[in-house]
Amino acid sequence: MTLEQLRAAIREAQLHADFPAVERWAHELASRCSALGDAVGQGDAYAYLGGALVARNEGRGARAAYQRARELYESADDLHGVARAINGLAHVAMDIDLNLSEALRFLDESLPIAREFGEPRLVGVILGNLSEAQRLEGDYVRAIRTAREALEILDVAGDAPRAAWQLINIAHCQFLQKKRSDAVSTMRAAYEYLSGATYDARMVAWYFDVWFIIAAGYGQWRTAALLLGFVNQYRADKSLIRLQLLLPWLSGPTEEMWRRLPGDTGAQLLAEGAALSMEAADALTRKAPFQ
């Protein structure tokens, strides 16, 4: 396998949430680039590794990988790579450590570097993470504005999965603002990106997590339970750990769902939801009162 084929295999594994493969091939990429004296290639490998470790909720290893990537990029004067690595450190701080102040510090450091030296796609990704941080701060207006800027960039770059990510975040913020019909419309738009040929399993899981939150907010407890059953099984099938970012909005509705559904109904609906296809799960969101 050539280096370019190895990189392509890593990117494909990322899309399908095959993080053990990403980790394995990232180590191989690092070893081969080290033998060639290619610091940028090594930096890429450690950045890929950091992402795989974040997906496994391994904060210490992910932080070390992104820090090593930063050092390698800095040694090669690759400022695009430096911005990428710093954004990765923000990802760890926000998604695993829930250290919002540190995440914002890293994002504020990486964004101007990316705007000047990085590719547009990287700017879009950093803005997407910044929007997530702003949502955690409760600043939904800024979060939506930032996500819309990221969406425009990622749409032009042809990155459908990450464009969907922005729409899902916008919809979540709209729902938190009590703009329910706007949230539903935005989720419809997000699904159009997710149902294409290059969907990312992480974004699909995120989409249905937010739909569970919306269904619960509408008081549609049976639908909510079916959606939660589907997304829990989807995450299990894809070995996708649910990271910290949505837990503040998931825990309350989950507890309320169990209180609202009598007897064994909750468990039965979760089991039914686990057997649904992605299309059937989405069809639940296209019925009243979500129409």
The mean predicted confidence, pLDDT, of the chain is: 94
pLDDT tens, 138-153? 999 999 999 999 999 9
pLDDT score, position 195: 79
Residue 29 has pLDDT above 80, yes or no: yes
Task: Please answer whether residues 150 and 121 qualify as being in contact, where contact means their C-beta atoms are separated by less than 8 angstroms.
Answer: no
Q: How much is the average pLDDT of 229-242?
A: 93
Domains assigned to the chain:
1-99 (1.25.40.10), 119-199 (1.25.40.10), 203-291 (no CATH)
Distance CA 206, CA 201 (A): 9
pLDDT in tens, 41-71: 999 999 999 999 998 889 999 999 999 999 9
pLDDT at 15: 81
**196: left (phi > 0), else alpha (psi -120 to 50), else beta?**
beta
| Predicted confidence (pLDDT) per residue in 245-258, tens digit | 788 889 999 999 99
- Residue 290 banded pLDDT, cuts 50, 70, 90: confident
pLDDT in tens, 74-113: 999 999 999 999 999 999 999 999 899 999 999 999 999 9
Q: What is the pLDDT of residue 191?
A: 94
Residues with Cβ within 8 Å of residue 130, at least 6 apart in sequence: 104, 107, 111, 146
Give per-residue pLDDT as tens, 155-214.
999 999 999 999 999 999 999 999 999 999 999 999 999 877 667 889 999 999 999 999
> What pLDDT score does 259 carry?
95
Predicted confidence (pLDDT) at residue 225 exceeds the cutoff of 90: yes
Mean pLDDT, residues 261-278 taken together: 96
Q: Could you tell me what percent of the chain has a pLDDT over 90?
A: 84
Alpha helical stretches, state H, 16-96 = 19-36, 39-55, 59-75, 79-95
Residue 116 clears pLDDT 80, i.e. is over it: yes
pLDDT in the model for residue 199: 74
What sections of the chain are H helices per DSSP?
A: 3-15, 19-36, 39-55, 59-75, 79-95, 100-117, 120-137, 140-157, 160-176, 180-194, 201-217, 221-238, 247-260, 265-274, 278-284
Percent of the chain with pLDDT over 70: 99
- Is the model's pTM score more than 0.85? yes
- Predicted confidence at residue 74, as pLDDT, reads 97
